[in-house]
Structure 1
Amino acid sequence: MPNLRVPVALLSSLALGAGLVTLGAPTPARAAVASQTIPAAQLGTAPDTAAGSCWEIKQQRPSAPNGAYWLVTPAMSEPLQVYCDQTTDGGGWVLVGKGRNGWTTDYDGRDADTGLLDPGYAGGADAHQLSSATIDQLLDGGRVDALADGIRLRRAAKSDGSSWQETRFKLASRDRWVWTFDARHPLSSSTIAGTTRTGGITTSFGSDSTWKWVDTRSREVTGWSYGFSYGTKAIGSSSDSSYLYSPTNGGSALPVTQVYLRPRVTSTGFTAIPDGGTTALEQRAQASSLADSLTWGVTGMASTPSAEGDVEVQAFTQSGDRMFVAGNFRYVTSDDGSQWEQPYLAAFDVATGAWISSFRPTFDQQVRTLATLPDGRIVAGGLFSQVNGQSASAIVALDPRTGATSTGFSTQIENRITGGVTSVRSLAVVGDDLVIGGSFTHVKNAAQSGWSYMRNLARVRVSDGSAWSGWNPELNGTVASVAGSDDDAQVYAVGFFSQARGAIAAKRAAAVMMAGDGALATPAWNPTWSNTNDYQRTVATGPGQVWVGGSEHSMFGFSPATFARKRTTIFDPHGDLQALARDGDVMYAGCHCNANTYTDAVTWPLDSTPWSQADAIHWAGAFDASTGERIPGFTPTFKSRIGSGIWAITTDTNGRVWMGGDIVTASSARSAKDPSGGFARFSPRDVSAPSRPGDLRVVSQTGSAVTLGWNASSDAGKVHYQVLRGDRPVATTTATSITLPFDGTARYFVRAADAAGNVSASTPVLTVARVSELVATDATWSWWYQSTPPADTWAQPAYDDSAWPTGSAVLGWGTASIATPIDTFPTTKDRPLTAYFRRTVEVAEPAQLSSLKLTVLANDGAAVYVNGVEVARKGLPAGPLTSTTYASAAIRDAAAQADPLVVEVPLALLRPGANEIAVETHLNYRATPDVTFRLQALATSAG
């Protein structure tokens, strides 16, 4: 008799001979078991066999060649394909960047989606860099300064790329990855072309002025390009095809450079996913680095600048559905080049950015600050003396719809110091009051008969602009910025002053009580600034912090309770902080800076005080409003008309961040240099995870593959799906089903990810039991089709069928699929009504099975037995069966295949060792044109 012995432990390794079979509900998970060890020959060759690192691949498979491989670490949400150099110095290097003169220092890298699967050079300024976050994930969260082999540069040494140089350097103190090698990162050692040195910084290092030198700075000699240039005597070419670039065909050549790392991460460090699945992963709330493409802007200078900051845009405020933009601009301009004269103040639709041409107030000088009163009126302050043709000394309230002067709010200010200029530099609504900072001495409204002495800092009522008589901190210098405390009990003022009330020290910053006579808060606020040139320009509050920014490139955070300095950042090599604005837990900062921020640095120029982070900044950056930690992923890119930078920031009610200054262009999704007259707007980054996919299920399964399906996730944008197995992600797809190799690991999860990097919670576990084909569809059977039927015991295990003929399925007659014909009779009337089939299989341990499913062609009718017990019949009448029983209906082969008999065998019928499967088929009439028999037996492991 045909016999197949299949130990249960080997079921998962057996492949099905034909077709995909739909299974029933999966068995529940018994434990969170990690994935099996990946065979060395498969490591890194596909997403589901991704390695932990290029180094692991080389260690496990020394013959692995250079090329593209798949990696995944516990820090990654899905596998990533990378290029591995498996040749140099023992191999194991992952390519994280390459280029000539197109490098960026930005945290997000550049064009990482293309170009990094081979080390080739495409010509010109072509550059590709993985994002810093991706590199940190490849390091599995490990420190950069812990890389045993440091950072490797492979630099072209000849203009035709025929010769290359090796450089290695190790950072002395670096936790996360950044591309800011132009910053002053300390080195522990460096080796260039075999020459090793200790110490130095990444800005420039080496031992000569030609080839043994690395300079990472953006300089005029390199056309303001970043890269890894040679020394001043290394000559390059301006040709797009040259591997050594110089815009002037001179020295400090920028070579085509490949950046490699060799993290020693293995694929064995994953933790099994619990049955409930993984939790959602959401990006931090912040603005996008790419500006919105706006049709309108402001341009031109309405008055001759007289002081730093007299730029196009200096202030924003929102009232209702309008954003008001103020400064020293002359025109409102559309992107087709059309312009309308509307100097100093203009209104734009907060949603569309469109200019609102019906709002046309007139001023005779620039507007430096704006505020919105609780009733919606806007207040403007600046250098003007006339508004809408009437006298208005440096402050005025306007109707936000018409631009007409408001008669209900009539604050007036004067500066009675000889030679003093009356100006308002900052406005802030604090409780029921409007606080005014600037250069002045006296304040009142039109209804008040007497003036109140309030030197440079004033408090007036929001209802009518009347001054609070007797309130006077009396600051001896111009106030540049004011902000109220979170509880409205204090107002913080910064600027150019050094004393309050004639003798009290108030060095560039003061905390003033709103109640009473305007006394300074206690304890005293006596900051130590970054430099003796210490004027401050901007102040804002964050949770548990008062943030101050200003001269010599500082942004310092202070405790609002003790005024002790808590956190510091220095902007280097330039420039001053000019604007701060909080949006939730993010503090946005504007400056005339276009290099790097140094977190925890305290003085400028930078001294030996250790700093913790160096991140790129291009005129504006984002910080954690509570801790002051830099949020490095927000790196907008502007072109500044004169390098003055950002002077105004606000967030509108739609969550969009507006930034203004002397902006000419801003990088947007539409263009790297999108025209951006005076201001730019940044939409919030998507920080909402997609919904969890539903109903993860087995669609079909074989011994070597499983097809999973699930219900789609919902999201505002496009999503793709991450499939996890056991303890790690193994595949991605945009479809709602996927076929994966089946290796016996039985626990699956699916989650959705969007383009912003948000990842949904995963489905709960789907345990897919191991399935093996005990009987293939083309298996060999013992069969009997004779006029004389076999004994009644023919289906019992002990029956001797050694005299029966054997043949492989399909058995029968009348179709092209027949492998074994059984109709040997001269005429159809001689055919018996019943054919008999037997096959023995052995199951070592039936207790380790969760199911045994038989799929049988019933043509015309069939009854199935296991170990002599009938388990199912189809197309046959009820009651005892004999060799003369007719099938209930005439069935053709196509119909039988479309509707087979499927049997779930009671497992109690199985016995350790040999088990007999027997089938009898019956004809509906002897002249039937076809009879077909085949059976497939699928055994499912209990786990």
Structure 2
Amino acid sequence: MAVRSSIVRGIRGRSRALTIGVTTAAVVGTGAVVFTTQGAQSTAVSLSAAAVTRNGTSAATAAASCWAIKQSNPAAADGIYWLQTPTLVAPEQFYCDMTTDGGGWVLIGRGRQAWNFAYPGQQGAANVRNTPTGPAAFNPAALPGDTINGLLNGANVKDLPDGVRIKRATNVDGTKWQEVRWKFAKPTKWSWTFDADPAHPLTSVSFDGTSFSGGDTGDTARDSALNPTRRIYTRERKENGWARGFAYGGYVTAGSNSPTSYLWKSGNLGGDAIPFAQVFIRPKITSVTYPEIPQGGTPADTKPPLISNATSATPWGVTETMTGLPGEAHLEVQGFAVNGNTIYVGGEFKNVQKGPNPAAGEKVAQPYLAAFDTQTGEWKPDFRPKLNGSVWDLQMVGGKLVVGGEFTKANDAANTAGLVALDPVTGKNAPGWQANVTATNGGAAVVRTLDLQGDWLYAGGTFTKVRGGNPITADVTLGRAARFRASDGRPDGTWKPNFSAMVMELDATAERVYFAGHFTSVSGQPARKIAVLGTASPAAKVPGLNDQNWQPSDPDIQKQYQQIIRAYGDKVWVGGSEHVFQSYTASAFDRIRGVITKPGGDFQAAAEINGVVYGSCHCYKFVYHDADKWPTPSTWSQIQTSNAVIAFDGKTGEPLPNFWPSLATRAGNGPFELTRDNQGCLWVGGDVNRGSWAGSGYQWAGGFAKFCASDATAPGKPSNLKATAVDGGVKLTWTGSTDNSGAVKYEILRDDRVVGVTTSTTLTDLVAGAHRYYVRAADWSGNRSASTAAVTTP
């Protein structure tokens, strides 16, 4: 599939006609005129005569690499050039170093301290190419990983013949520099996670031409005591104010936090010197083959339907915890349920609150359970239930809100311990439905998880007896899981599993109920932290599954508990400790693939939206793809960044690194609940206290945050493409299209590739000979419409 983030940017401005092309009839110096777009400006350049010379001076003459330009023109100077590969799709501008070591290097990142080393990049491609060096470039900027993979045209990072090049300042004035080469041993696709631990292994590293074998990107130290510049330390340190970069280490003592110093130090913290650095790669691609475009044109191509990385404002939230105790069992938010445009929020919170600095009447005591509008984020004050303990899960059942938790009374009513059905508008107890749970082992009777399937509401937790219905039944003895009739709460006395320890999560389908938790057996049969039971009575494990082949990441059985299990389509997703999230086939329960986060990061909740599975964890560093061991992931295929919620392709199980949400948490416990609302937004709940940057500061979050869908809709298809002969070429005109996000740009394809991008609906291409032309629309999120059918040069 085409890399979608590489559409040429920077041509917003006024609509204007675009003239592009080359001539095959003129001689060198007669010069067909070509216009390249830079911002909204057009610059005339002369092109060579006999054939398309891919010198990178325009979108129409984009080259396959900086190296290709240098090979065809040894006199090419440092500067900005147009590049294009089949994977990059559309021509885009990049800064090329045409001087160092034979030239042909493309700049992919630059900056001093405060690199984020995240796959989506930093500050955008225009900042990388337009400000490659100097104090104005100290604030790091880096290309998105998709763009870099496009420059590689699908090649393996470890197969770059010259590795990854790092150019670092060695003095405060920026007049002396060091050249470093990293040759990677492992990654298949690009990753910025140089600072991981364990990090990307290297086959070799060189400092100013002196080579050493081995090492990794986290701490590349070679003879640093004897030669203090022979170290690169990319990880954050307290002494550096937690700022990351390409630090020298403690032996380099020069530097300051001056805005003009090429060596930065954090002031009084005594950290390492972090120099201004540039990162280059040199794909030696000299020619590429583009697939022939059929007469009917190209199909629409849209971005994966990911949720946005930015939070949507939620003016109200929930604050403080009733117990004030630390730890994962004492969080503001532990459960969600959605009903129309209302989201119910349950947990251990004490108050509902408007913003970080509430006025009088904007901080209200409403412990454990509250309701909010999913569209406006406003609190719904008419919903005022009274509970005396925490809420762990919520489920809409036949127009009622069923609440599970560790309360012993709801609205002061009897027979409401751990389980109650409420009126979804007022919060009063719903008539005609009642159930409750108890524990015979002297512990607390807690309902941790609920799920509705057909006529039954399934529940799991720590309880060992249940009763319910109207009239209420006698106690039914079972072991930490039960099901209740959806119509009135009456327990099913014929379906009675017996789990040996707590059930933390369940997911019911028509024929199966999936369980995860701390248990090691169910009804006398082995069940190592997960179990799959049938829905027919009596409750029994589904035969023929390989669920005992479930692969924990740690041999210590006490560290194998799981707290996510979700069936989405033909896959089952399992997650928990130690920091593992895996997908299995639903048919046989065979493992497909998995990830491990490090450091820390048990997985705690999951949700599926538009074919993307989101898993949440207290993981704020790195996720190791295809790893299967903890605490030292060794089998990983890739490392990417993580921040509390990770996205996965629901079909392949592959992590999607472009999702890197902006949020923070109060105590690092992370999100313990995820859900989708009826507008397609993802709600994330736990000890969340901060959303994304909103112009002048971060958005406040009270226990939960909302992430809505990014644009994954293609623009409308252009129409009425016409070609008219003009002197030296052809004039193209077409009828424009619209897009749900506003203005569009148009990609003009000649024969087999994009040769121009414009916001106008006309283009003059000065190129001789017979050619086929197509036009398609693209929005600013990277979605492309289907193209027109081909028109041929008149």
TM-score normalised over the length of structure 2: 0.89
For the residues of structure 2 that align with 1:182 and 1:306, how far apart are their CA atoms? 30
Q: Is the 8 A contact 1:693 1:751 kept in 2?
A: yes
**1:148 aligned partner:** 161
SS in 2 for 1:674: strand
User: Aligned in 2, Cα 1:614/1:654: closer, same or farther, shift over 3 Å?
Assistant: same
**2:256 aligned partner:** 237
For the residues of structure 2 that align with 1:11 and 1:510, how far apart are their CA atoms? 70
Counterpart of 2:452, as a letter, is V
SS in 2 for 1:134: helix
**1:252 aligned partner:** 272
Following TM superposition, by how much is the alpha carbon of 1:436 offset from its aligned partner in structure 2, in angstroms? 0.7
Following TM superposition, by how much is the alpha carbon of 1:294 offset from its aligned partner in structure 2, in angstroms? 2.4
1:490 to 499, 506, 512: 512
For the residues of structure 1 that align with 2:252 and 2:656, how far apart are their CA atoms? 37
**1:262 aligned partner:** 282
**2:214 aligned partner:** 199
2:181 to 160, 168, 191: 168
**1:723 aligned partner:** 748
Following TM superposition, by how much is the alpha carbon of 1:651 offset from its aligned partner in structure 2, in angstroms? 0.9
> Which residues of 2 match residues 342-741 of structure 1 at below 5 A?
342-373=366-397, 375-391=398-414, 392-418=416-442, 420-446=443-469, 447-485=471-509, 488-501=510-523, 503-523=524-544, 525-526=547-548, 527-531=550-554, 532=556, 533-608=559-634, 610-667=635-692, 670=695, 673-698=698-723, 701-703=726-728, 706-717=730-741, 718-741=743-766
**1:112 aligned partner:** 124
SS in 1 for 2:60: helix
Correspondence 1:130 to 2:143: yes
For the residues of structure 2 that align with 1:36 and 1:449, how far apart are their CA atoms? 92
User: Aligned in 2, Cα 1:474/1:722: closer, same or farther, shift over 3 Å?
Assistant: same
Counterpart of 2:600, as a letter, is H
SS in 1 for 2:147: helix
Following TM superposition, by how much is the alpha carbon of 1:460 offset from its aligned partner in structure 2, in angstroms? 0.9
Counterpart of 2:516, as a letter, is V
Following TM superposition, by how much is the alpha carbon of 1:658 offset from its aligned partner in structure 2, in angstroms? 0.8
User: Aligned in 2, Cα 1:528/1:52: closer, same or farther, shift over 3 Å?
Assistant: closer
Q: Is the 8 A contact 2:335 2:393 kept in 1?
A: yes
Counterpart of 1:708, as a letter, is L
For the residues of structure 2 that align with 1:442 and 1:670, how far apart are their CA atoms? 54
**2:104 aligned partner:** 92
Following TM superposition, by how much is the alpha carbon of 1:195 offset from its aligned partner in structure 2, in angstroms? 2.8
Counterpart of 1:246, as a letter, is K
For the residues of structure 1 that align with 2:648 and 2:621, how far apart are their CA atoms? 16
User: Aligned in 2, Cα 1:277/1:416: closer, same or farther, shift over 3 Å?
Assistant: same
Q: Is the 8 A contact 1:326 1:345 kept in 2?
A: yes
For the residues of structure 1 that align with 2:584 and 2:425, how far apart are their CA atoms? 39
Counterpart of 1:238, as a letter, is N
Q: Is the 8 A contact 1:12 1:744 kept in 2?
A: no
Pair member with larger Rg: 1
Counterpart of 1:128, as a letter, is A
SS in 1 for 2:148: helix
The answer for unaligned runs of 5 or more in structure 2 is 1-22, 34-47
Following TM superposition, by how much is the alpha carbon of 1:37 offset from its aligned partner in structure 2, in angstroms? 7.8
For the residues of structure 2 that align with 1:197 and 1:667, how far apart are their CA atoms? 42
For the residues of structure 1 that align with 2:314 and 2:351, how far apart are their CA atoms? 16
**1:216 aligned partner:** 234
SS in 1 for 2:709: coil
Q: Is the 8 A contact 1:291 1:669 kept in 2?
A: no
**1:308 aligned partner:** 328
Correspondence 1:330 to 2:356: no
- 1:617-668 C-alpha deviation (Å, 9 max, x unpaired): 1011111223321011111021111111111101112111111111111215
SS in 1 for 2:597: strand
- 1:179-222 C-alpha deviation (Å, 9 max, x unpaired): 11123222121112333222232222221343111122222222
Q: How many residues matched? A: 735
Following TM superposition, by how much is the alpha carbon of 1:741 offset from its aligned partner in structure 2, in angstroms? 3.2
User: Aligned in 2, Cα 1:124/1:720: closer, same or farther, shift over 3 Å?
Assistant: closer
For the residues of structure 2 that align with 1:323 and 1:37, how far apart are their CA atoms? 66
SS in 2 for 1:133: helix
Counterpart of 1:45, as a letter, is T
For the residues of structure 2 that align with 1:123 and 1:149, how far apart are their CA atoms? 28
**2:83 aligned partner:** 71
User: Aligned in 2, Cα 1:377/1:507: closer, same or farther, shift over 3 Å?
Assistant: same
SS in 2 for 1:689: coil
The answer for unaligned runs of 5 or more in structure 1 is 1-9, 21-34, 770-943
For the residues of structure 2 that align with 1:342 and 1:214, how far apart are their CA atoms? 52
**2:172 aligned partner:** 159
Q: Is the 8 A contact 1:639 1:666 kept in 2?
A: yes
**Is 51-60 or 424-433 further displaced after alignment?**
424-433
Following TM superposition, by how much is the alpha carbon of 1:91 offset from its aligned partner in structure 2, in angstroms? 0.2
Following TM superposition, by how much is the alpha carbon of 1:607 offset from its aligned partner in structure 2, in angstroms? 4.6
**1:818 aligned partner:** none
For the residues of structure 2 that align with 1:659 and 1:614, how far apart are their CA atoms? 24
User: Aligned in 2, Cα 1:743/1:265: closer, same or farther, shift over 3 Å?
Assistant: farther
For the residues of structure 2 that align with 1:397 and 1:572, how far apart are their CA atoms? 40
SS in 2 for 1:288: strand
**1:228 aligned partner:** 246
Following TM superposition, by how much is the alpha carbon of 1:670 offset from its aligned partner in structure 2, in angstroms? 4.8
User: Aligned in 2, Cα 1:78/1:566: closer, same or farther, shift over 3 Å?
Assistant: closer
User: Aligned in 2, Cα 1:38/1:241: closer, same or farther, shift over 3 Å?
Assistant: farther
Identity of aligned residues (%): 39
User: Aligned in 2, Cα 1:455/1:191: closer, same or farther, shift over 3 Å?
Assistant: same
For the residues of structure 2 that align with 1:320 and 1:430, how far apart are their CA atoms? 19
Counterpart of 1:341, as a letter, is A
Counterpart of 2:579, as a letter, is H
Counterpart of 2:266, as a letter, is P
Following TM superposition, by how much is the alpha carbon of 1:340 offset from its aligned partner in structure 2, in angstroms? 2.2
For the residues of structure 1 that align with 2:618 and 2:50, how far apart are their CA atoms? 54
Q: CA RMSD in A?
A: 2.3
Counterpart of 1:345, as a letter, is L
Q: Is the 8 A contact 1:580 1:590 kept in 2?
A: yes
**1:804 aligned partner:** none
Counterpart of 2:275, as a letter, is P
Following TM superposition, by how much is the alpha carbon of 1:744 offset from its aligned partner in structure 2, in angstroms? 3.7
For the residues of structure 2 that align with 1:282 and 1:683, how far apart are their CA atoms? 17
Following TM superposition, by how much is the alpha carbon of 1:545 offset from its aligned partner in structure 2, in angstroms? 2.2
Following TM superposition, by how much is the alpha carbon of 1:379 offset from its aligned partner in structure 2, in angstroms? 1.0
**1:826 aligned partner:** none
For the residues of structure 2 that align with 1:125 and 1:104, how far apart are their CA atoms? 13
For the residues of structure 1 that align with 2:586 and 2:95, how far apart are their CA atoms? 51
Following TM superposition, by how much is the alpha carbon of 1:558 offset from its aligned partner in structure 2, in angstroms? 2.8
SS in 2 for 1:116: helix
- 1:841-885 C-alpha deviation (Å, 9 max, x unpaired): xxxxxxxxxxxxxxxxxxxxxxxxxxxxxxxxxxxxxxxxxxxxx
TM-score normalised over the length of structure 1: 0.75
For the residues of structure 2 that align with 1:667 and 1:748, how far apart are their CA atoms? 43
